[in-house]
Amino acid sequence: NAGVTQTPKFQVLKTGQSMTLQCAQDMNHNSMYWYRQDPGMGLRLIYYSASEGTTDKGEVPNGYNVSRLNKREFSLRLESAAPSQTSVYFCASRLLAGMSDTQYFGPGTRLTVL
Amino acid sequence: EDQVTQSPEALRLQEGESSSLNCSYTVSGLRGLFWYRQDPGKGPEFLFTLYSAGEEKEKERLKATLTKKESFLHITAPKPEDSATYLCAVQAGNYQLIWGAGTKLIIKP
């Protein structure tokens, strides 16, 4: 049982390059999330998907796009990377069952944009 | 505006020295308050969810409590393996969590 997996773990881009961050979960959860984490700040939500086939903007969606490929996979795309997008990106899936509400996080992707 | 503030930013304790971390929040219609632990280079790991004022939950050396304005994470007789960043988040009625910046806890042997 792998939980939430993310690829790649590290990435260096030049300004203007594009890339896709991959995320997959094997827990059959409906909801999935993309966050970024910057020093001294809380996790900030980029996009989320409440269920397969739906996606919605979070707090900081500009410069990003997402695809909920199927129930397992939720990808984040940077079309034209900027230095301000240097960050650690986390994918999470959510279990909501009765009184249990838990997000499970992947190990993160550390992205540097030069 | 919904907001979560954690204090202190960092806390250094000797092994066995008990203390508390604070998470204060302003949110309309709290639906849940969450505590997570994050180790360096890893994703956050779930600890607790609290839903109403007066609620308490415990796990090993950790106890989380909730009032109408803040939550405390009490650490009793901590060990070096308790060293981590502890994150607090609140949910205010949609799918989004609002996260604090975290408290970095260092336990010295």
Highest mean pLDDT among A39-43, B1-5, B71-75: B71-75
A99: confidence class by pLDDT, cuts 50, 70, 90:
confident
Query: How high is the pLDDT of residue A2?
Result: 80
Q: Find the chain A residues whose C-beta atoms sit closer than 8 A to any C-beta of B.
A: 4, 31, 40-45, 48, 50, 56, 58-59, 90, 92, 94, 99-108
Query: How high is the pLDDT of residue A26?
Result: 96
Would you call A100 and B49 a contact, using CB atoms and an 8 Å cutoff? yes
Q: Which of A30, A43, A104 best tests the B interface by mutation, with the highest count of B CBs <10 A?
A: A43
Averaged confidence pLDDT in chain A? 95
B53 contact A CB<8A: no
- The yes-or-no verdict on residue B95 having pLDDT over 70 is no
Would you call A56 and B44 a contact, using CB atoms and an 8 Å cutoff? no
Contacts of B2 in chain A (CB under 8 A): none
CA–CA separation, B106 and A26 (whole Å): 33
Token readout for B58 is 């415990």
Query: How high is the pLDDT of residue A114?
Result: 97
Nearest to A69 by CA among A3, A1, A9, A20: A20
- The yes-or-no verdict on residue A17 having pLDDT over 80 is yes
Q: How many Å lie between the alpha carbon of B2 and the closest alpha carbon of chain A?
A: 12
Point out the least confidently predicted range of B3-12, B14-23, B25-34.
Answer: B25-34
A101: confidence class by pLDDT, cuts 50, 70, 90:
confident
Nearest CA in chain A to B104: A40
A97: confidence class by pLDDT, cuts 50, 70, 90:
confident
Which residue in the set A40, A58, A105 is minimally distant from B44, CB to CB?
Answer: A105
Nearest CA in chain B to A58: B96
- What CATH number belongs to B3-99? 2.60.40.10
Nearest to B38 by CA among B78, B89, B76: B89
Q: How many helices (H) and strands (E) does chain B have?
A: 0, 11
- The yes-or-no verdict on residue B15 having pLDDT over 90 is yes
Would you call A106 and B43 a contact, using CB atoms and an 8 Å cutoff? yes
B102 contact A CB<8A: yes
B96: confidence class by pLDDT, cuts 50, 70, 90:
confident
Would you call A31 and B98 a contact, using CB atoms and an 8 Å cutoff? no
CA–CA separation, A74 and A81 (whole Å): 19
Nearest to A90 by CA among A103, A78, A81, A102: A103
B109 contact A CB<8A: no
Query: Across-strand partners of A102?
Result: A95
Residue position matching structure tokens 């204090």 = B7
Would you call A59 and B51 a contact, using CB atoms and an 8 Å cutoff? no
CA B81 from chain center: how many Å?
16
Q: How many helices (H) and strands (E) does chain A have?
A: 0, 11
- The yes-or-no verdict on residue B75 having pLDDT over 80 is yes
Cβ atoms of A96 and A103 within 8 Å: the answer is no
Instruction: Evaluate the omega torsion of the peptide bond into residue A8 and state whether it is cis, within 30 degrees of 0.
Output: yes
- The yes-or-no verdict on residue A29 having pLDDT over 90 is yes
**Nearest-5° Cα angle at A91, A106 to A12:** 90
- The yes-or-no verdict on residue B93 having pLDDT over 80 is no
Work out the average pLDDT over A58-76.
Answer: 96
**Nearest-5° Cα angle at B27, B25 to B30:** 100
Residue position matching structure tokens 């250094």 = B12
CA–CA separation, A111 and A38 (whole Å): 11
